[in-house]
Structure 1
Amino acid sequence: MSGYCDFAPGHPVHASYHATEYGFPQREESALFERLLLEINQAGLSWETILKKRDGFRRAYHDFDVDTVAGYGERDRARLLADPGIIRNRLKVDAAIHNAQVVRGLRDSHGGFAEWLDAHARNDGQTRSKADWVKLFRKTFRFTGGEITGEFLMSLGYLPGAHHEACPVQRKLAKLRPRPMWMRP
């Protein structure tokens, strides 16, 4: 996504996300769930729209607290579908609730969402391909096609491509410890 590196720096909406979040590993469950929820909601829209509505998503989805969202019922669905601060799409709202329930279950099976991602990051000793990730996500989560899964994983450093080689952020990522998953030997 080298084009992002060309226009995001200095942009009033994209600059901070590009410089401090995009491609950076995350471990916190709520941060991972937020990224998944935002990527799902971006489908068919611009990332700028999602970034502008980010605070609305944060409020609507209780700071991306997995347990709270996993417990949402019909009243919460109706509230979300009426909230102009987010994307009001029934399939995306239902996916958020279902995926929160899945993430909650990953605590029992793997210790958490980050641990589940780490457990699947390698396939036969090699970094898992995007195609393999997409198959896994489609089996595990809702509303996670190829673009959504790819962007989610790229945005968290599990897949390469968030920044081009000459981007200062790419050099910053290479100095992180631990480095993004795709940069590890």
Structure 2
Amino acid sequence: MSYCSAIENMVEDKKALHKAYHDKLYGFPIYDDNELFCRLVLEINQAGLSWETILKKESTFRKAYDNFNIDLVAAYAEVDRERLLGDAGIIRNRLKVNAAIENARAIQQLQKEYGSFEKWLAHHHPKSKEEWVKLFKKTFKFTGGEIVNEFLMSIGYLPGAHSPTCEIYKNVLKTNPMWLKTA
């Protein structure tokens, strides 16, 4: 079976962690708003760090952020910010913690206007990477070009998560007709 070169060239002790994400999640569509929020928070927290660091901490992120329940995170107060900043199981960066809370609130507004975060994304699809970045910077906190690109690739809104020769690429195409519009 042929995989993306990043997976094929990875040392064995790292391969299992990355391969599980690569084979089951990366590039596949997400329809649940809380899971979309989760992916956005994880991508924001990856900035300046390795994706491996984030994958290793995903379960502690889920616990710290109430399983990425948008309504719960949007209601976080200062005590919650301090709790998160003291949690060694996540990335303790004030800007990233604040972005998670503010972005949950932004998603609540999108839900009111569009019915869901997923419908807001679908409403704006397709866009170029540059158009998406502009829209995200206007809508969310801590969303630069690389974060937006990785977030959108990871949920299937931009192509590039897998090389066309990767066996998983075929699975993504089967489950994600949006790629046919952008690939």
Same fold (TM over 0.5): yes
User: How big is each residue's C-alpha offset from its partner over 1:94-132, in whole Å with a ceiling of 9 and x where there is no partner?
Assistant: 00000000111111111110000000113xxxxx10000
The corresponding residue for 1:132 is 131
Change (3 A) 1:63 1:7: farther
The corresponding residue for 2:43 is 39
The corresponding residue for 2:162 is 163
Shift of residue 4, structure 1, vs aligned partner: 3.0
Change (3 A) 1:149 1:180: farther
Contact 1:174 1:183 in 2 (8 A): yes
Aligned with residue 181 of structure 1, among 150, 164, 178: 178
Structure 1 position 153 matched with structure 2 position 157: no
The corresponding residue for 1:110 is 114
| Aligned Cα root-mean-square deviation (Å) | 1.5
Contact 2:23 2:168 in 1 (8 A): yes
Alignment of 1:17-28 (within 5 A): 17-28=21-32
The corresponding residue for 1:29 is 33
Contact 1:9 1:15 in 2 (8 A): no
Aligned length: 177
Distance 2:57 2:177 in 1: 27
Change (3 A) 1:34 1:7: farther
Distance 2:124 2:7 in 1: 28
Contact 1:95 1:143 in 2 (8 A): yes
Shift of residue 5, structure 1, vs aligned partner: 4.3
Unaligned runs of 5+ in 1: 123-127
Distance 1:9 1:68 in 2: 39
Distance 2:123 2:10 in 1: 32
Q: What letter corresponds to residue 111 of structure 1 in structure 2?
A: G
The corresponding residue for 1:96 is 100
Shift of residue 7, structure 1, vs aligned partner: 3.9
SS at match of 1:151: helix
The corresponding residue for 1:6 is 8
Shift of residue 8, structure 1, vs aligned partner: 6.1
Q: % of aligned pairs identical?
A: 54
The corresponding residue for 1:56 is 60
User: How big is each residue's C-alpha offset from its partner over 1:20-42, in whole Å with a ceiling of 9 and x where there is no partner?
Assistant: 00000000011100000000000
Q: What letter corresponds to residue 67 of structure 1 in structure 2?
A: D
User: How big is each residue's C-alpha offset from its partner over 1:54-107, in whole Å with a ceiling of 9 and x where there is no partner?
Assistant: 001000000000000000000000000000000000000000000000111111
Contact 1:163 1:170 in 2 (8 A): yes
The corresponding residue for 1:76 is 80
The corresponding residue for 1:125 is none
Shift of residue 183, structure 1, vs aligned partner: 1.7
Q: What letter corresponds to residue 172 of structure 2 in structure 1?
A: L
Contact 1:5 1:163 in 2 (8 A): no
